Amino acid sequence: MKRIDLFLSEREVNKVCKAISKAGVPGYSVIRHVTGMGLAGEISEAMDFSGLGANAHVIVFCEPHLVPAVRAGLRPLFDVYGGVGFVSEAEPL
């Protein structure tokens, strides 16, 4: 089993969730109000009042064979809006 960790702007969370659902994952979890630092510089919650939001952390546990579909679904979004993803090993409890 694989664990996928995605970090992206809260504004695109719905788009990302749709993309990974379409890839066929059995479930996912979303943590909002994540701040951080990446290529696009520092992201804080200071502009939250404007609807701009901070980052979100999306966690997906799925079978290894789904990873390419998830990657393919996210590539266009990450290319346009930024965001990063990482994969690691896991097993069900």
Partner 1 sequence: MQSSLILQNLVSAPVLFFFLGVLAVLVGSDLEIPSPLPKLFSLYLLLAIGFKGGLELAHSGLGSQVLLTIGAAVLMSLLVPISSFLILRTRMDGYNAAAIAASYGSISAVTFITAQSFLNVLHLDFNGFMVAALALMESPAIVVGVLLAKLAGQSGDSLKGAKAGGLRWREVLQEAFLNGSVFLLIGSLVIGYLVTSFSPAGLEKMDPFTEKLFYGALCFFLLDMGIVAAQRLRDLRRAGPFLIGFAVLAPLLHAGVGLGISRLLGLSQGDSLLFMVLCASASYIAVPAAMRMTVPQANPSLYISSALGVTFPFNVVVGIPLYMALIQRFVPLS
Q: How far is the CB of 25 from partner 1 (least distance, A)?
A: 21
Contacts of 12 (CB under 8 A, 6+ apart): 77, 81, 83
Contacts of 65 (CB under 8 A, 6+ apart): none
Distance in angstroms (rounded) separating the CA atoms of residues 32 and 9: 9
End-to-end CA distance of the chain: 11
Q: How far is the CB of 50 from a copy of itself (least distance, A)?
A: 20
Compose the 19-48 pattern: x for residues touching ligand AMP by CB under 6 A, - for all others. -------xxxx----x-xxxxx--x-----
* Interacting residues with ligand AMP (CB under 6 A): 7, 26-29, 34, 36-40, 43, 55, 59-62, 82-84
* Interacting residues with a copy of itself (CB under 8 A): 1, 3-7, 17, 21, 26-39, 55, 57, 59, 61, 67, 70-71, 74, 84-93
